[in-house]
Amino acid sequence: MRTLHPMSDVIIRELSQDEDFGHWFHELIELEGRETGHVGAAEDRYLVLSNEIGDWIGGLRFTLRGGIAQVVEIAVTPPERHHGHAHRLLEAFEASARDNAAHLAEFWTDDKDSEALLAAMGWSAVLRRDRYMADHSWVLMEKRF
């Protein structure tokens, strides 16, 4: 008769941003990618917008993975809006994406003004999802490099 060894108890829990786990998990995904030839982990990156005295007034978070650069979030503080800062952040994002050998940039938005701005910067709408997040309609914009 075969004896089965009982499994140890495992626990699944949610973590908010935990830098130690994030680094460990990133390395695990990278290792698996090297072993299997699949795309590795997404790298979170940030572009920081600051004023002349160094105070943060906005920024952009994006990921890089397998030649795809994807804007995750972009924000500018309310007093600094409507001065072209988001436009400058997007230009810096595109430059960073190119510098990191991305061949495609993506950005989901539910803001019609953002969609028009991105179109003026050479981006194209490739997918629309009605009632997607927060019951809003969203559009996936892309730009090929």
Could you report the per-residue pLDDT of 95-132, keeping only the tens digit for each?
999 999 999 999 999 988 888 889 999 999 999 999 98
Q: What is the DSSP letter of 122?
A: T
pTM: 0.78
17 is written with which tokens?
């941003």
Domains present along the chain, CATH in parentheses: 42-144 (3.40.630.30)
pLDDT, tens digit, for every residue of 80-97?
A: 999 999 999 999 999 999
Predicted local confidence at residue 101, as pLDDT: 94
Q: Which amino acid is residue 63, in one-letter code?
A: T
Residues 55/88/105/68 CA torsion (nearest 10 deg): -40
